[in-house]
Amino acid sequence: MKRVLLVALVVLAFARPAVALEKLTVMLDWFVNPDHGPIIVAQEMGYFAAAGLEVTIIAPADANDPPKLVAAGRADLAITYQPQLYLLVGEGLPLKRVGTLVATPLNSLVVLADGPVKSIADLKGKRIGFSVAGFEETMLAAMLRKHGLTLRDVQLVNVNFALTAAMLSGQVQGVIGAFRNFELTELEQFGKPGRAFFPEEEGVPAYDELILVAHKDKTGDPRIRAFLGAIELGLQYMHNHPNEAWAAFVRHDRDLDDALNKRAWADTLPRFAHSPAAFDRARYERFAQFLVQEGLIKRALPVEQYAVEVR
């Protein structure tokens, strides 16, 4: 009888349903690429599941949509950019920064290395391509000003997101908004190396390139804290086991396994936030003041209105 009871208890134990994972939807800023390394590795290595999460990762059809979807309650988290955060909140979107993915600028002003532009001052009278109006123009204006130029001294050309193609075709002599971990490698692969001018060295305060935002009323959601902890583990794994981490990344999508992504993977690794939940209040205040001085926003809101440190 005892034996039968023991067997029954064992069967019941294994028959119990697994603890349900908490669902979490994350909108990327663009298609999956090495900028999202810690998130993809955390997914592939099971760190989200270990944290009690079932994470759905969605690449947007339109790069402008993710923060809007979070604001509308149709996604839990979205990746966006620190410079855009001020504009989004200024437009009335109920968003707050809850984490950092890439903690240094990636944006840069790029020209061809063998072209006539050797310094920013050489851009006078030249055509400069851009993708997104607003911050890219503001950043370019600050960089030009340091060298005695203004936006009136150059011709801006909207090349959409075809930055590399516009450079190679001669449509423009420089581009603003080129990511130093991608476009520079693309140019090199085409046999036309680029020269980058970095905004943080040319009058633009340093900022977080990629951040995570949530609805302002949901920043205390414990799923967010669990998510940030899991991507921190993902980054640790990337540092400690680079080959295995790369294998996990391309396992997510075999189309990612190419020379451009592999180079970008190495170039991006040192730029990820080592502690995604950490928050540098002064850095955000300083950048807000820069945007006010440049006329992109009218006033600097209190930090508490657009950012929080998740504990």
Q: What DSSP line would sit under 104-156, residue for residue?
A: S--EEEEEETTSS-SSGGGGTT-EEEESSTTHHHHHHHHHHHTTT--GGGSEE
Q: Give me the tens of pLDDT residue by residue for the chain, a chain 311 residues long.
A: 444 444 343 333 334 445 689 999 999 999 999 999 999 999 999 999 999 999 999 999 988 899 999 999 999 999 999 999 999 999 999 999 999 999 999 999 999 999 999 999 999 999 999 998 889 999 999 999 999 999 999 999 999 889 999 999 999 999 999 999 999 999 999 999 999 999 999 999 999 999 999 999 999 999 999 999 999 999 999 999 999 999 999 999 999 999 999 999 999 999 999 999 999 999 999 999 999 999 999 999 999 999 999 98
Do residues 240 and 224 share a domain? yes
- Integer Cα distance of 225 and 248 in angstroms: 23
Q: Domain end: 201, 230, 257, which one?
A: 201
- In this prediction, residue 272 carries a pLDDT of 98
62, 30, 140, 295: CA torsion to nearest 10 = 60
Q: Which two tokens stand for residue 9?
A: 């208890």
**What is the tally of structural domains in the chain?**
2
Do residues 82 and 218 share a domain? yes
- Integer Cα distance of 179 and 14 in angstroms: 51
Q: Domain end: 201, 232, 252, which one?
A: 201
Helix axes 82-90, 135-145, angle to 10 degrees: 120
Q: Is 252 inside a domain boundary?
A: yes
- Integer Cα distance of 272 and 256 in angstroms: 19
What range does the domain containing 142 cover?
A: 107-201
Do residues 120 and 195 share a domain? yes
Q: Is 4 inside a domain boundary?
A: no
Strand partners, 174: 128
Q: Is 14 inside a domain boundary?
A: no
- In this prediction, residue 311 carries a pLDDT of 84
Q: Is 278 inside a domain boundary?
A: yes
- In this prediction, residue 2 carries a pLDDT of 43
Residue 35, classified by CB atoms within 10 Å of its CB into exposed (0-12), middle (13-18) or buried (19+), is buried
Do residues 298 and 228 share a domain? yes
pTM for the complete prediction?
Answer: 0.92
Do residues 141 and 193 share a domain? yes
Q: Which two tokens stand for residue 191?
A: 């046999």
Please name which of 58, 102, 61 lies closest in space to residue 80, comparing C-alpha atoms: 102
Do residues 25 and 93 share a domain? yes
Do residues 194 and 222 share a domain? no
Q: Is 34 inside a domain boundary?
A: yes
DSSP 307: B
Do residues 100 and 116 share a domain? no
Find the CATH number of the domain harbouring 131.
Answer: 3.40.190.10
Q: Is 61 inside a domain boundary?
A: yes
Do residues 100 and 113 share a domain? no
